[in-house]
Amino acid sequence: MDYQQLIEVMRRLALEAGDKIMEIYNADDFDVKVKSDDSPVTEADEAADALISAGLRAAFPDMMLVTEEQSASHKEKGETFLIVDPLDGTKEFINRRGDFTVNIALVEEGVPTRGVVYAPARERMFFTLADGSAVEEAGPFDASAMGETTPIRVADSNNESLLVVASKSHRDQATDDYINKYNVQDMKSAGSSLKFCLVATGEADIYPRVGRTMEWDTAAGHAVLHGAGGKVVRFDNHAPLTYGKPDYANPFFIAYSPAVTLKEA
């Protein structure tokens, strides 16, 4: 794998998909359908998926591709593959709350190693470089040329005064019960894979997820967080979260700075 080419392609496709998403987001109205699992899907999800999938298949024709919006791809099996969520945070998009992202990642031997997370409504772009380290790019963004980037790193967390980020749309009592095991200075809510990126930049120390997610929801954010020195582990036994599971469904997990002393579930 040519990682430099991969990063250039993923970044460009994320930006182009973001432009398409924002066209629809800023329109007076857009279509919303319901998928077989009762989750919503919009024309923005489908347009972004078509653009990203075509671009990845053209650039990497021999690489396995798994994407949320193409159910046939969910039958593919392997430990090394590209994985896409063209619009993570569809509910945020529908409600025009802005916390939605484009997510593209490479998983190698079950581990997300490269990825891009683009939040077009927030004008924030996070990705890994060819060497796997993580950066945030400053806008305005140009799909044809990378702008100024800043290396990002997880916080040297103070366990007596932690900053916690949790889901905006999926917060529940079980999540609150776990958070209450820590000494929390402040709590913030965010949608989509932005939560991983807030831990990656040190804007939060820990993100516990006690709820259903799929691998395409988390792989890109996981790669960015890993590139910034962070970790993602299973909620139940603190073993590393792995990818390429038979149904692409994740167990509950915790994303965090290694300076955080994890509590038992």
- The answer to whether the annotation marks 162 as part of a ligand binding site is no
- The answer to whether the annotation marks 28 as part of a ligand binding site is no
- The answer to whether the annotation marks 149 as part of a ligand binding site is no
Q: How far apart are CA 45 and CA 29, in angstroms?
A: 15
Q: How far apart are CA 54 and CA 60, in angstroms?
A: 10
Q: How far apart are CA 124 and CA 181, in angstroms?
A: 31
- The answer to whether the annotation marks 78 as part of a ligand binding site is no
Question: Do 232 and 130 contact (CB within 8 A), yes or no?
Answer: no
User: Which residues are within 8 A (CB) of 158 and not within 5 positions of it... i.e. 6 or more apart?
Assistant: none
- The answer to whether the annotation marks 90 as part of a ligand binding site is yes
Residue 264 DSSP SS3: coil
Query: Quick one: residue 23, left, alpha or beta (phi over 0 = left, psi -120 to 50 = alpha)?
Result: alpha
- The answer to whether the annotation marks 88 as part of a ligand binding site is yes
- The answer to whether the annotation marks 110 as part of a ligand binding site is no
Q: How far apart are CA 174 and CA 264, in angstroms?
A: 13
Residues contributing to the annotated binding site: 68, 85, 87-90, 217
Residues contributing to the annotated binding site for substrate: 68, 87-90, 217
Residues contributing to the annotated binding site for Mg(2+): 68, 85, 87-88, 217
